[in-house]
Structure 1
Amino acid sequence: MREKALLINLKTVVLATVLLSTGTMVSQKKNKKDKDKTEQAADSLKTSKGKKYDDLIKQGTFKKGLFNTIQVKTDLYLEINDSLFQREFLVVNKISNVPMTINEQGLNRGMNYENKIITFHKDLVAKKVWVKSSVPNVSSPTGDAITASVNANFSESIIEVFDIETKNNDSTSIVIKANKVFDGKQKSFNDVLSNIGLSGSVKSELSYIESVKTFPKNIVVKSQLTTSVFEDGIAISVTLGVTSNIILLDKVPMQPRFADKRVGYFSEKHWYFSDDQQAMREKELITRWRLEPKKEDLEKYKNGELVEPKKPIVYYIDPSTPKQWRSYIIQGVRDWQIAFEKAGFKNAVIAKEPTDEDTDFDIDDVRYSVITYVASQKSNAMGPAVVDPRSGEIIESDIIWWHNVMTSLHSWMRIQTGAIDPKARGNKFSDEHMGEAIRFVSSHEVGHTFGLKHNMGASFAYDVESLRSPDFTAKMGGTAPSIMDYARYNYIAQPEDHVETITPKIGEYDKYAIEWGYRWYANENEEHTALNTLITKHQNDPIYFYGEQQGADSTIDPRSQSEDLGNDAMKAGEYGLKNLKRVVSNILDWTYDKDESYFGTGNLYIGAIGQWNLYNYHVLSNLGGIYLNPTVHGDNKASYVAVPAEIQKRAVAYLLKNTLTLPQWLFFNPILDKTNPLKDTPVGPYEYTPYTLARELQYGFLYSMLSDERLLRITENELFQRNETKENVFTVTQLFKTLRQNIFASTIQNKSLTILERLTQKNYVDVLIVSTNKLFEKTEPKKTIEIHENLNMPQLCDYLDNSKMARNINQSAMKRVSEVTSDKKGELNQVLQLLKSKRNIGNQETKNHYFDLIQRIERALNNTL
């Protein structure tokens, strides 16, 4: 093989030598030949098809815009001016309407599902227009040698081709027939079925282009696309309304602003190459609107005066929004004015209803940012944005507002504030009370459309006791220094505290983050210095702390959690449980509705159980927790700080008292004379019996408590704290000893066990067995984890869950040779020896229980590899 390769190389050298000797002549002939072909092709289009352009105009409907459009019956022609070739366009696809089959799956009008950069390339020789697409996330200086390599290694791809039908009369534009990319025949511009997760293909005979609008900088094409889905083996026809926007991007992108992990913005990754590097540099560009002062206001702006931006951010209210909620949604947008004033702009954010003056208004038109109201059973809201990936500039945003979001708000307020607020107790709230809740959600979602991520660490800035103070809550404006936290309502304040400001509002972190992201600077150097100075100024104040969102099952930093309040989860949980007891004792009265079923009662009851479950996990995250600080060189901060041992011990004490000892006031109470806990599902109410629910929730909790990752963090923290005194280190051995002494307290005291004590012991042992012996796969808690997720209080912005934790920390590799396996086996053996010594003590049920556990443990230890 090597000799053959050498022979081929020698032939190549000889051939190259011949070509070099004649290359100049061949090149000259080829260039002349190509030029002649191009001229001949141009003449051919001009002469033989010269009449066709005029004929198309006469036969069809002509509209002038970015692309002139000509509609001839069912055919759509686009006229592309020569100046637009090789310019960058952004294709933005949206859902315009859906049938019930799709609505039930959570796909609704206004949702954006596929964006891409495209360019058009004219080829007169082939009489074609080629469409290419690229991912414009790579840059290099124009004059650098490496730029040629960048262009070659990050080139465009051809995604579509059109025949050139004709030219206009002065040959400054060409015409293409564009039906196939909008009517579903081709997927190059709009692959709706793949993007929304439907299999199959578009049925072209049942699909068509509905309408076309063209404007100076964009074109809007609406289509009706049909496919089939199978339900119970029967094919059902499904037609989706889709809208494709093609937007002309600016030749010069907005000056990007680079992300800093100490401030929470969504971002676009970008790679930078240059000759003077020794390694490629990766940066992230924050997503933000282009807010700039007007030229005539530059000096005022620089001098600290508030000025109006050249182009404000405008949100339109969907006309299908019920009238009683419009003013609250608008106010939720306008509440951000105070934050943008910190960035030097007044009247930067406008929210309004479309009027007769907005003659071109169209919800699907990318020129309009719309708060879209969706008729659906889904209880959610979200605020995505259309972004220019070259710079991070937000071009447009559509907030999706599902009608049933009010069910979540109603549940949150009843459960979290019903104990202290009489307005939050009834089956239906006043418009004013619900309106204020809608205002809060509006502000939160609009914050996302400015580029802000969730700041789950904001609520940790407030001391728990301060949330019981009317003066503090009134002064600070709510439950956390950021409305971008999931700090819902004040469940800490007690009835005797008389706290009235219980709803989240725009806070100090929000103002700071908007100033950091939106203050305008004349040049990049000035910007870099000013932004670093701003962060340095606030870096030691917890009010300005940014805590990255974490996955519910992978929380490492207990400061950054969803749905929590205050800086002490144990104390917050105790106050929360006091109020929750008050709520549970009143559920039957609050949900009374003459001649109605007990569905509302059971639904509120399961929400209360979900709230208890939230407190459990808020506390649990302290066990094996690590404070993850976003740090940079020179700030003198530690990146990783173990949660102090004393806090971990308090967390275990709370959990033994309130979780591992199941609260009978919650699971066994008069409500059960009327209804079980009820979960509303697409197939109808789903009932949970209290014994089964309590057992499975506790099992799932124990499984998380004794997870390998958590125990590994405790072990690793012990390793790094080896120079600390014994009292300042919390170990896995201490954890197991404390749990065993409490869970088996009645066993140690030679008492007969209650049903709930036997339940907890079984859960504890089985969790250890599942963790150490994979032969017991059938007892793994898959179903339990699903139930736990269902019982959580509802969350907004679920679409953000894909970007949970920016820091991926590997702490679980090679678990078989870690201390975790030894610790768990050792604990099983300790329990086994205890049970053997007590096997003949207690009533018959207790003896049966011990016999069962002894057999389980012995089998697990014998079968463990």
Structure 2
Amino acid sequence: GVERNNIAPVMEAFPIIAMTPDSTASVIDVTSFFLSDRIPFTPLVPNSGIGSLFGLRDNMEGQFDKDRSSILSVQAFPLNAIVKTMVTYTVSKRPFSAEMTISMIRLSDKPMMPRLRPDRIGIFFSSKNHFSAEKDYLDKSWYAERWNIAPKPEDEEKYWNGELVEPAKPIVYYVDPAFPEKWRPYIKAGIEDWQKAFEAIGFKNAIVAKDYPDDPDFNPEDIRNSCVIYAATDIANAMGPSWTDPRSGEILQGSVYFYHNVISLVHNWRFVQTAAADPAARKETYDIETMGPMIRYVVAHEIGHTLGLMHNMRASYAFPVDSLRSKTFTDKYGTTPSIMDYARNNYVAQPGDGVTNFLPPLLGPYDYFAIKCNYKPIKGAKTPEDEVPVIESWIDEKADDPMYRYGSQTFFGAYDPASQSESLGDDAIKAGQYGINNLKILTDSLLVWTSYPGSDYDRTLELYEEILSQFRRYIYHVKTYIGGYYDNYARVEDGSDSFELVSGTKQREALDFIFEQTMELPDWYINTEILAKGRPVNEYATEMQMKIMRALMSKGTVLTLKAHEKFPQEDPYTARDYMDDLYEKVWGPVSSGRKLDHSEKMLQYAYLQALFSGIGIQDMTDGRGFALTPDEDLEDELPCARLELRYAGQERALRTASWVPDTALETEAMLYNELVRIQNLLEKRLKVEKNQEMADHYRYLAYEIRKAVKID
């Protein structure tokens, strides 16, 4: 049936130019095939709305110029070929040329037996539709992406008897000779850190690191070769893509691209997150004893991707916050149970705690378990379906242990407080308070720690802004409690729900924390000694306060709270409760009659900005309106994001925060009535206000409301 309804696509037909006498080989002209504007061979990527947000090079349009394009070289091997071309386009009336390497390989005649991806473990996947008369719906399977790791035929008996054996096809990573020599041991260590995870399932030397071979035919762009490649660019990132057999999910090749300026990224992370408690993090240039382990971490994380593992944003939630202040605990576990988490350095540890290991683990318990679920052979299994009960039983055994829980990466607004980028511990409020304590120390000491002889203050000012960015992370981690819910991978067998709403008590605590920290920000962040080294006018703190207020007042936050009212809750927090609490914090001082400070006035201004945007009015905004999530909320998703974007929207492994449409009208009505309430408050206050400065402020806000909307 399926075969009769579908035919294999034909990319190109070629006339035969010549044949060998025995007709076993023929000659065709492939020049026009490779020198073309077709999708596989063009550097111009079609527009992707999501991709552009993450810095992907897309939305380039141009006219292909075949006369200025050429085939540079061709390498042919028994099962694969490599064609290098230079293609030229006219883009925006200017010439644009790029070298392209096209690597093709013949797939095996018999595909590897797929493994069905368990949805409670973060594993990349290929999807397949199954057409069957046995079910009344189109069935879909998710094939785990995995290398073909299996014992050699002669070693199978040893393997099943519990002996360590080498796999028939070990994974080999070649390390680019362009890497600085002092980095190379750490890069190789980051690759081979995964050996222990494979040893735990019975394989030794399953993944090894090697130098480029002394072979003229060796080509790092050959799809048969997996490499860690050095790129001397200013991109502050690294990534680990892989190529798979679409029939089975078998990974054929993986590559890690290590962009040089990722060093700057990890340096700044280390400074703002640990310098308060770790003197080694205060240096202008880290010695290899400090930088080396961070390079190792970056490589190991990216290698994890090439082994098929997705990010696990829930991992760090397994650790109690106060455990991260324990030297004994952090020496053993680091910051998270998984290196696939975005849990960088220990920002919770305080000066005097005695913590000396501020990094994630080499590999955590979850990483070992994920490798087991993706790679451990299952005796007697003849089909992918045969493996499912065994793998599910492994996961069930660990279901109550938080160190083995998986949480997906979300874009455009986190909704699960337990699964967040760059977060640590099981309580974002407590962790954020510790982190802010350390940021205050950094701000006080920044000039001392960054006054390097013979240099200007550019580095000081750069790190000063990084401190504010780190503060934003702590605040946004806490904001996720408001309208948030915990994601559960529900099973029919246990009768659980797919989500659990955050309690009203926790949401109120989160709002109190955010507002208190936001109001206190200028008291410790505005450092005139530092500002004197930059520009005379500096509104960093005020701008951050306004961004936070707009985030609190965003339509998405209110709408989500409104949607949650449909569900029974023991400790509810309604949209009306939230609006009343926020109103009292922002507008309560108006009734008191006291003079407002600069921050209080700007928060009122930002409050109105968000209200106008929420009901579709652009007055007082920057022209963009206000979206579900601030642009800054995407910054922490950038490293490695290209990989996970391939899977966005396909299933629950990657979600974006969503709105319930039938609550939109109610939400807009509520926001409109907030404008009415504020307008009435301002008019009442203006009748008795004696302070000219405050009267001017209130009169202007009232004017903006009248200008934006007619209120009867």
Candidates 638, 641, 648, aligned match of 1:798: 641
Counterpart position of 1:527: 387
Q: CA deviation at 1:301?
A: 1.8
Q: Determine the C-alpha separation between the residues in 2 that align with 1:189 and 1:734.
A: 54
Tell me if the contact between 1:628 and 1:639 (Cα under 8 Å) persists in the aligned partners. Answer: yes
Candidates 663, 670, 676, aligned match of 1:823: 670
Q: Determine the C-alpha separation between the residues in 1 that align with 2:451 and 2:377.
A: 56
Candidates 632, 641, 648, aligned match of 2:500: 641
Call closer, same or farther: CA 1:159–1:792 in 2, change over 3 Å. Answer: closer
Call closer, same or farther: CA 1:663–1:788 in 2, change over 3 Å. Answer: farther
Q: Say whether residues 1:304 and 2:177 are aligned partners.
A: no
SS in 1 for 2:14: strand
Call closer, same or farther: CA 1:368–1:831 in 2, change over 3 Å. Answer: same
Call closer, same or farther: CA 1:779–1:486 in 2, change over 3 Å. Answer: same
Candidates 193, 208, 214, aligned match of 2:76: 214
Q: Which has the higher contact order (CA 8 A, sep 6+)?
A: 2
Q: Say whether residues 1:855 and 2:707 are aligned partners.
A: no
Counterpart position of 1:715: 562
Q: Say whether residues 1:570 and 2:413 are aligned partners.
A: no
Give 1:698-847 correspondences, 5 Å limit: 698-721=545-568, 724=570, 728-774=571-617, 776=619, 779=622, 781=624, 789=632, 792=635, 795-800=638-643, 802=645, 803=647, 806-807=654-655, 810-818=658-666, 820-839=667-686, 840-847=688-695
Q: Say whether residues 1:343 and 2:343 are aligned partners.
A: no
Candidates 277, 280, 286, aligned match of 1:420: 277
Give 1:504-653 correspondences, 5 Å limit: 504-505=360-361, 506-521=363-378, 522-523=380-381, 524=383, 526-551=386-411, 553-653=412-512
Greater per-residue strand proportion: 1
SS in 2 for 1:670: helix
Deviations along 1:26-65, one digit per CA (max 9) or x if unpaired, are xxxxxxxxxxxxxxxxxxxxxxxxxxxxxxxxxxxxxxxx
Q: Say whether residues 1:470 and 2:322 are aligned partners.
A: no
Deviations along 1:797-824, one digit per CA (max 9) or x if unpaired, are 1313624563467523145532x12322
Deviations along 1:470-520, one digit per CA (max 9) or x if unpaired, are 1111122x1010111100000000011111121112100111000000001
What do you get for the CA RMSD once the two structures are aligned? 2.4
Counterpart position of 1:290: 148
**Amino acid of the structure 2 residue aligned with 1:547:** G
Tell me if the contact between 1:408 and 1:794 (Cα under 8 Å) persists in the aligned partners. Answer: no
Tell me if the contact between 2:164 and 2:204 (Cα under 8 Å) persists in the aligned partners. Answer: yes
Count of residue pairs brought into register by the alignment: 691
Q: CA deviation at 1:283?
A: 1.1
Q: CA deviation at 1:852?
A: 1.4
Call closer, same or farther: CA 1:659–1:673 in 2, change over 3 Å. Answer: same
Structure showing greater Rg: 1
Q: Determine the C-alpha separation between the residues in 2 that align with 1:741 and 1:697.
A: 21
Q: Determine the C-alpha separation between the residues in 2 that align with 1:800 and 1:480.
A: 21
Q: CA deviation at 1:611?
A: 0.2
**Amino acid of the structure 1 residue aligned with 2:85:** S
SS in 2 for 1:762: helix
Deviations along 1:698-719, one digit per CA (max 9) or x if unpaired, are 3332232223332233233333
SS in 2 for 1:744: helix
Q: Say whether residues 1:494 and 2:346 are aligned partners.
A: no
SS in 2 for 1:608: helix
Counterpart position of 2:43: 192
SS in 2 for 1:770: helix
Call closer, same or farther: CA 1:863–1:316 in 2, change over 3 Å. Answer: farther
Q: Determine the C-alpha separation between the residues in 2 that align with 1:277 and 1:760.
A: 57
Q: Determine the C-alpha separation between the residues in 1 that align with 2:409 and 2:435.
A: 23
Counterpart position of 1:408: 265
Q: Determine the C-alpha separation between the residues in 2 that align with 1:169 and 1:533.
A: 60
**Amino acid of the structure 2 residue aligned with 1:531:** I
Deviations along 1:319-354, one digit per CA (max 9) or x if unpaired, are 111111111111011111111122221111111112
SS in 2 for 1:161: coil
Q: CA deviation at 1:773?
A: 4.4
Q: Determine the C-alpha separation between the residues in 1 that align with 2:155 and 2:25.
A: 40
Call closer, same or farther: CA 1:654–1:495 in 2, change over 3 Å. Answer: same
Tell me if the contact between 2:318 and 2:337 (Cα under 8 Å) persists in the aligned partners. Answer: yes
Tell me if the contact between 1:210 and 1:222 (Cα under 8 Å) persists in the aligned partners. Answer: yes
Tell me if the contact between 1:343 and 1:515 (Cα under 8 Å) persists in the aligned partners. Answer: yes
Counterpart position of 2:32: 180
Q: Which moved more, 1:803-812 or 1:399-408?
A: 803-812
Counterpart position of 1:265: 123
Q: Which moved more, 1:304-313 or 1:805-814?
A: 805-814
**Amino acid of the structure 1 residue aligned with 2:343:** A
Call closer, same or farther: CA 1:604–1:795 in 2, change over 3 Å. Answer: farther
Q: Determine the C-alpha separation between the residues in 2 that align with 1:689 and 1:475.
A: 47
Q: Which runs of 5+ in 2 are unaligned?
A: 47-56
Q: Determine the C-alpha separation between the residues in 2 that align with 1:282 and 1:785.
A: 31
Q: Determine the C-alpha separation between the residues in 2 that align with 1:773 and 1:206.
A: 50
SS in 1 for 2:696: helix
Q: Determine the C-alpha separation between the residues in 1 that align with 2:513 and 2:598.
A: 22
Counterpart position of 1:456: 313
Call closer, same or farther: CA 1:766–1:377 in 2, change over 3 Å. Answer: same
Q: Determine the C-alpha separation between the residues in 2 that align with 1:793 and 1:668.
A: 26
Q: Determine the C-alpha separation between the residues in 1 that align with 2:505 and 2:409.
A: 25
Candidates 247, 257, 271, aligned match of 1:390: 247
SS in 2 for 1:193: coil
**Amino acid of the structure 2 residue aligned with 1:468:** R
Q: Determine the C-alpha separation between the residues in 1 that align with 2:250 and 2:711.
A: 59
Q: Determine the C-alpha separation between the residues in 2 that align with 1:373 and 1:382.
A: 11
Q: Which runs of 5+ in 1 are unaligned?
A: 1-146, 677-687
Q: CA deviation at 1:277?
A: 2.7
Q: Say whether residues 1:240 and 2:98 are aligned partners.
A: yes
Q: CA deviation at 1:554?
A: 2.1
Q: Determine the C-alpha separation between the residues in 2 that align with 1:755 and 1:263.
A: 49
Call closer, same or farther: CA 1:321–1:790 in 2, change over 3 Å. Answer: farther
Tell me if the contact between 2:413 and 2:628 (Cα under 8 Å) persists in the aligned partners. Answer: no
**Amino acid of the structure 1 residue aligned with 2:683:** K
Call closer, same or farther: CA 1:695–1:788 in 2, change over 3 Å. Answer: farther
Q: Determine the C-alpha separation between the residues in 2 that align with 1:364 and 1:296.
A: 33
Tell me if the contact between 1:221 and 1:243 (Cα under 8 Å) persists in the aligned partners. Answer: yes
Q: Determine the C-alpha separation between the residues in 1 that align with 2:8 and 2:551.
A: 47
Q: Determine the C-alpha separation between the residues in 1 that align with 2:466 and 2:87.
A: 40
Q: Determine the C-alpha separation between the residues in 2 that align with 1:280 and 1:790.
A: 37
Counterpart position of 1:434: 291
**Amino acid of the structure 1 residue aligned with 2:44:** L
Tell me if the contact between 2:436 and 2:471 (Cα under 8 Å) persists in the aligned partners. Answer: yes
**Amino acid of the structure 1 residue aligned with 2:10:** I
Q: Determine the C-alpha separation between the residues in 2 that align with 1:171 and 1:472.
A: 70
Q: Say whether residues 1:483 and 2:335 are aligned partners.
A: no
Tell me if the contact between 1:708 and 1:812 (Cα under 8 Å) persists in the aligned partners. Answer: no
Q: Say whether residues 1:318 and 2:201 are aligned partners.
A: no
Tell me if the contact between 1:751 and 1:842 (Cα under 8 Å) persists in the aligned partners. Answer: no
Counterpart position of 1:355: 213
Tell me if the contact between 2:103 and 2:223 (Cα under 8 Å) persists in the aligned partners. Answer: yes
**Amino acid of the structure 1 residue aligned with 2:340:** M
SS in 2 for 1:432: helix
Tell me if the contact between 2:410 and 2:657 (Cα under 8 Å) persists in the aligned partners. Answer: no
Deviations along 1:282-324, one digit per CA (max 9) or x if unpaired, are 1111111110111122122223322211111110001111111
Q: CA deviation at 1:732?
A: 2.0
Q: Say whether residues 1:277 and 2:166 are aligned partners.
A: no
TM-score, normalisation: structure 1: 0.76
SS in 2 for 1:654: helix
Q: Determine the C-alpha separation between the residues in 2 that align with 1:472 and 1:267.
A: 34
